[in-house]
Every structure is written in structure tokens, then in C-alpha cells.
Chain A
Amino acid sequence: MEYTRKFTEKLSVEQVKIELLNTAYGNGGTFFAKLDPRTLFLWYAYFGIFPWFIHEVMVLIGMFLFMLVTTYVARISPLIIFILCLGLLGQGGYLLIASLFFGGDWTSILPLLILTLKLSVISLASITVFCSMNPEKLSNGLLKIGLPGQISFSIAYGYRMLPTLLEEYHHVFQSFRLRGKAPEKHGFLYINTIAYFIKLAVLSFYPLLLSTAKRARTTVEALETKGSMYGFNHIEVKKLKLAGLKMKKRDYYFLAGSLVYMISLFLFL
């Protein structure tokens, strides 16, 4: 009982909010955060796609080790790593069970391990890149590679709203708790209580949708008065906005270093 309480205290909505925001904004000082977004896009374009086409187990292991190093350097939040591991194990485990069920045998473990390895490389590359770019950098990067202003604005705005929405959700959820009636008995393995909370978690979304629709009206008007439409349609605004983006020596060294590492993997393994 003591443990469950400690666990639920850690797992509060407040905590999730803090972790999310830290993932988005908290890594400003790392090596990756100082790179140009284009470098990161280019790097990701390779490490996010090529593992699918590589079948040498040793090369994959080499890539995996490289990803472990980058993930460490990028100082990813433990929560994200935890979720990632959960996802990978779940995925691999379920495929194993499925293969056993449909007449496969234990030899299917090896190919599954290779698949999991590939997925790990790709996932670690993704979190290295996307956790190292704060939303502002990501949106500027996207703007630079030619996506329309509306898309890059939506990303920055989404992050601005995230804490507000979480907070509002929290309020609604609490109102449900205070006005509803929790089950009298926890039930076998807390089943009644868990079912009760899941039901509340789903119900709480409806009021949130309605109130968000209401607040959006002011935002849309404000955007109009702040000249956003003018900005999205004028090239000089884009230039002004992206004036700070520059490829530096650091970017070229990093790309060259990654390239040399990959070539040596193929040559020596």
C-alpha cells in the first residue's frame, strides 16, 4: 500500500507535465543542441532509414553502440528511455508469442532479435535528434528546408499550449473525482479502482475539447492582429526569422565523424 501510494504520487499529472516540458526544452546545453537543425535532419535521414537495409549483425551492433553514445551525450530524460524500452520489449515479446502460436519455434528468436536491434538503432537516433531540438529550433529547421510557415508555427504553438491543456485536463479530472463516487472496494488486483480511473481519464477529454474550441477563437483573432498571415506569405519575413541559422565547423566535424565511423564499420567488420 505504501509503495502504491509512493508510485502514484510520482505518477501525477503534474510530474508528467514537468517531464514533457523538460524533454522539449531542458536540453539546451548539450552538444547536439548546439548543432544546426539541418545537420540533425541529414544525420537522421541516414540513421533513421538505413538500418532497414543493413543485414550484417556486427555492423548493426556497431551502429547500436554509436547510438548509445549519442543518447548519453544528448542527456535524454529517464522517462523517455523507460517508455522506449517498454515499447521495444513489448513489440519483440508480442511477435515472439505470435510466432510461437502460429507454429514457429525458438529459432525465430534470432531474427526477432535482429529486428529489435534495428528498431533500437532507429528509435535511439530519433530521440537523440528530436529531444535535442527544442520546438523553436525544430520549427525553424523545417521552415528552412521549405515547409510552409503554418506548419512550423503549429509546432511552436502546440508546445505553448501543452502545459495549459494538461492543466485544464487535470482540473476536469479532479472535478470528476470530487463529484463522482469511487468504488467502495478496490476489487481483485485493484480491478475496480483501475477501471474507475480509466473511465474518468476518458470522460475528462470531452469537456476539454469544448473549452479548447472556445479559447481558440481569441487565439485566431490575435494571430490575425499580430500579422501572422502577412508573415507566412512574405519571403523577407522568412529570411529575417532564419537569419540566425548557420552551419558551423562543429556541424561539419560531426557529419564527417559519423561518416568515417560508418565507413570503418563496413570495412573492418
Chain B
Amino acid sequence: MKPIIEIKNVKYQYPGADKPVLNHVSLSVDKGDFVAILGGNGSGKSTLCKLINGLIPHYYVGDYSGEVLVKGMAAEKHKVAELSRHVGYVYQDFENQIVSPKVIEDAEFAPLHYGLADYHERAVHALDVVGLIDQQHKFIWQLSGGQKHLLALASILSLNPDIIIMDEPVAQLDPQHAREIYDILKKLNDEGKTIIVIEHHTEFVAAYARNVILMDQGDVLFKKPVKEALNEVDVLLEHQIYPPQVTQAAAKIGTSGILPITIGEAIPLMASIVECEQNTVHKLRTEDKPLVTFEDVTFSYKTITRERDQVLHDVNLTIHQGDYIALVGNNGAGKSSLMRLITGLVKQEKGQIALDGKDVRKTPPEHLAEIVTYIHQNPEHMFIDDCVKKDIGFYMKARKDPRTEEKVANLLKQFELTDLAERDSRLLSGGQQRRASLAVGVGMQPKLMLLDEPTANLDIATRKHITRILEELKTQLQAVVIATHDMQLACEFANRIIVMHEGRIIHDGTKASVFTNHNLLKKAGLNPPQIFTLAKKLGWERPVYTVDDFIELYQSKEAWDGVHA
């Protein structure tokens, strides 16, 4: 097939940077391909994509050499506006690319400004493709995060571009919505569009992409068909990319030949084991003293149309010392509201909430903050001073703690922020920001810590790092609640899992009770870790939550089977 994008020997250096972000990159993408770009933070993935619609070199000045051809047009000789009619780009911070107050207006914006008379029909069609047609007269601020993402996609589809680039399509979505957006991309791909995604989740890559590009430090290491690419387990791990769990497991077991990349492929290869070890029962080690109690709590807030939107219905909940809770459920299930009620920043409509014996409704949030800390999903909301060090020390300084300096130094060390102490927190990378926000939280020496999506928007390596830090925090805190879509984190961290659905707690148990309950998973839209599903499909009775568990069990089974064979 004819290449639709050709990148020849491109080198680019941002103004003021001390080394190039792209080193002599050469690459071609065929028309109708579905390409996933893998690479750690700072490997040049986003920069590469900005070459394709001409933002580099037209918009960013800097050292640029080489040639980029898009549909045969030299990017350097055509304006961004011309190239953009062929290349649609959905940013990682897609909210900022929505420029109009109403859904339909935003979808119309591009075709209207290019002077296309059928702009309205185009917008309606685009909204129809992404499934937002019923929302067309809504305002932007009435949409959920997932819907905004779909709108950002619709607003570029209205120009009918041949190439669609999406930067981390699923970073902020729950698994159900994530699949939805990939299904839309697949449909577009089937219609002949060329799709390029930047993606950390290799399970999606395995399920949807046709080719994979691996980047590292400004170099393209390889471009291969997806199966071959994900089989390069060692190369990927070396660059901190984690292949799908089934692939990792197969590699560790030493499966011969080509490694499987999806569950469907894995089952025939691993189906030889039938027996199972004795099931061990997990016991909750909760102590008796309740830290938080909810009694028949309902909560609603006023919407723009002055109607009240009921977010929580009759919630009853007790959190004890020693509880490490994962709060799971779809976007909009009420997880954040539940946590914010504990901080006292919002007040319940009915019912009682007590925190460490205090009535939350009657105690000002400033006082509750000495017991409970809430870590925002967006770390930037927590940065109120002009450098990391001051941000961490803010709480202690306000209380005139004489040991502030010493404590801040210790926290900087614990969260590996010492070198960044003088930097503005807002200008750090995603993982660094997350660590800084955790340090701020721990610096308040709370008994209870509430974290909203602590691993969202992070590449997998950073995610593992944060998971490790959270594990260490258990010794410093009496209880932790994490709201998350990341089931691997939930499995590794929590000793109690609470499932929420449409403002109600529909299950309160452990990972065993949650992931073995098929109806529950379906209702709440949860996806167990891939390795769990694999073990189950293989007919293993004992649940497996991590690749290491899987390997351990697999080997003991093999030995056991060997003896009795």
C-alpha cells in the first residue's frame, strides 16, 4: 500500500532545550493502518505527532531539519490550517481544545471556519458517529469527562480528515468507556481512515492496533506488526513498557514459539493444567475502632438548570483503622462525592457522617483537615505556592511547627523530590506532580488519606512507582481510601474493595468476593486484571491477581502434575 505519511530523517530540538527531542527519525505509515506509538514519558511521542499536522515546524520554532510528507504534501510548505483538513489531532488535555460553549457549535466550529457550507450536516454526522447526537444542544459543562473526550473527537471528525491522531485516548476513562472509544476508532479504521494512537495500555494495543512503533529518547527503535512488537518482551521491559499480562506470563513460563498477546490466544497454549491447590481464605484484619461512619447519607448538588442531581442514595459505611480500601465503579458512580463528604468541603443533605468521633457537618473543614487529607485527581489543584518545597511546608508553616524545615526535607527525600525542591510544581511531569501531591498530603500527618485516581494519566512505569510509594504509606496512616479504575492497583493495594454504582454501595468485600462475582462485575462495569481472567478461563479454581502469583502457581502446578503424571 501507498504510504500516507512519510517522515524522512527529521531532527527537532525545542527552543531552549539542551538536546534534540527527535533524532533523525525516519518512518512511514500506510493508508488505512492502525498504529500505536509506545514509549516512556519524554520519548518524543507527542512531538512526533505534532510533525504530522505541521504544528512543528510552523508553530514551534526550533532547530528543524528533514522532510515530512502528508498525502504527498510537504508539511513545511503547507500551512497548519491546510494540513489540519487531512489530519485530526485529539490532545491529551482534550478539554482545552473544546472552544465553544455548546456541543453542536463546537462540532461545527472547524468546518464553519473553513467556509464549508454544509457545516451543520457535517457536525451532525460527526456527533452521530461518536454517539453524542442526543447531547447536541447541551452545554460543554453539562458533559461528563468521557463525553467531552468524544466531543473533541467529533469536532475533528466534522472535517472528515483521512488521518486521526489520538494522544492517550483512555487515560482518564473507566474501562467501559475506554473500550467504547476504541470501538469507534476501529469503526473509523474499517471505513479507511488511518488511525494513530499514543497508548500506554498494551492490552488495548494488542486488541486494536495493527502496527506498533516503539520510541525512546527521540529515536524510533522499531516499527513492527503488533504481534511481533509485543513479543519483544525484553526490549519493551527495558524501556519500561509492560506487555499485556498474558504475554508477560507466557514469557516467564518459557512458552516456546510466538507468545500470545490476547486471552483468546493464550488459552490453547496454557490449557494443560487442570488440578488446583487448596484455596486460601483471605481474612480481614480490621480492628474495631471506627474512623469514619456514614449513616443513611444522601447527597445531591444543584445543576445549571437549578435542578438537584442526586449523587448518593442512603449510603451506610464504616471505615475502621487498618482498612486499605479501593473504591471502584464507573465514572459518575459517586466515588468522589463520597470522599469529599468526609473532608467536610461539601455537606450531605440527609444522614450523619462522623469522622474520628466528630460530626462532619458541624466541624469546619480546616479542623477536619488535621485528621483527613484528600488528594485531588488533578494534582495541580493542590499546588498553591510557587515551589515544591513551599507547597509541602505550607501546612506546617501555618501551624508554626518549629521542625518544619526538617520534616519537609524528610518528605522530599521519601518522595524522591529533593532535586526538584525549588521547581514550580505545575511545571513538573505527570509522575513528579503526583509524587509532590502525595508529599503534600503526607505532610499534613493525617490519620486517614483519601486518594482520587492516584494512577490516572501515568505511564505504567510511573504507575508502578506510585503503587510502591502507596504501599509504604500504609505504615504512616491508619486508613486509606483510593478511588480508582486501575484494578491492578486495587488488587495489589487493598484489603477491602467497595463497589459503587449509581450512587449506591452495591458490594463491600475483598478482591476475591468482587472478581468472582460475575454479575457484579458486569453491573458495575469493572474489568478484572487480564491475568485473573486468563486463570479463570483456564479453569483454575484459585484466583490469581498478579503475574507473579500466576507464575508461582503455574510452577507449583507443573511440579504437582509432574509427580502424578
Contact = CB atoms under 8 A, between A and B. Distances in A.
Nearest to A172: B384
Interface in B354-383: 364-367, 369, 373-374, 376, 378, 380-383
Nearest to A176: B384
A180 B444 CA distance: 10
A226 B91 contact: no
A57 to B, nearest CB: 40
B398 interface: yes
Contacts of A22: 304, 306
Contacts of A215: 93, 96
B207 interface: no
Contacts of B140: 160
B113 interface: yes
Contacts of B384: 172, 175-176, 179, 203-204, 207
Contacts of B366: 177-178, 180-182
A181 B398 contact: yes
Contacts of B231: none
B98 A160 contact: yes
Contacts of A221: 55, 59, 91, 97
Given A21-B141, A175-B384, A218-B96, A237 B369 contact: no
A18 interface: yes
A164 B114 CA distance: 27
A185 interface: no
A227 B113 contact: yes
A110 interface: no
B139 A25 contact: yes
A234 interface: yes
B97 A219 contact: yes
Nearest to A214: B426
A166 to B, nearest CB: 10
A28 B59 CA distance: 40
A105 interface: no
Given A18-B306, A181-B399, A210-B424, A223 B99 contact: yes
Interface in B328-366: 343, 345, 347, 364-366
A168 to B, nearest CB: 7
Contacts of B506: none
Tell me the interface secondary structure of chain A in the complex.
helix
B495 to A, nearest CB: 27
A227 B97 contact: no
A261 interface: no
B457 interface: no
B113 A237 contact: yes
- Most chain A beta carbons < 10 A, residue from B101, B303, B394, B424: B101
B53 A136 contact: no
A228 B115 CA distance: 10
Given A182-B366, A225-B55, A229-B81, A218 B91 contact: yes
Given A18-B304, A160-B100, A218 B93 contact: yes
A56 interface: no
Nearest to B84: A225
B233 interface: no
B480 interface: no
B155 interface: yes
A160 B142 CA distance: 12
B517 to A, nearest CB: 36
Contact of A231 (B85, B97, B115): B115
Interface in B271-313: 301-304, 306
B113 A18 contact: no
- Most chain A beta carbons < 10 A, residue from B85, B306, B366: B366
B392 to A, nearest CB: 10
B113 A226 contact: yes
A136 B141 CA distance: 16
- Most chain B beta carbons < 10 A, residue from A216, A218, A222, A234: A222
A111 to B, nearest CB: 42
Contacts of A174: 345, 365
B363 to A, nearest CB: 11
A211 to B, nearest CB: 6
B117 interface: yes
Interface string A14-38: 1100100110010000000000000
Interface string A153-168: 0001101100110001
Contacts of A135: 101
B314 interface: no
Contacts of A25: 101, 139
Nearest to B158: A226
The 6 closest A-B pairs by CB, nearest first: A231-B113, A222-B97, A218-B96, A171-B381, A225-B84, A226-B110
Given A159-B101, A174-B365, A231-B113, 15 more contacts: A18-B303, A21-B139, A22-B306, A160-B100, A164-B141, A168-B381, A178-B366, A181-B398, A210-B426, A215-B93, A224-B59, A225-B81, A230-B114, A231-B112, A237-B115
12 contacts: A18-B303, A21-B304, A164-B141, A171-B376, A179-B384, A180-B366, A215-B93, A221-B59, A225-B88, A226-B109, A231-B112, A237-B114
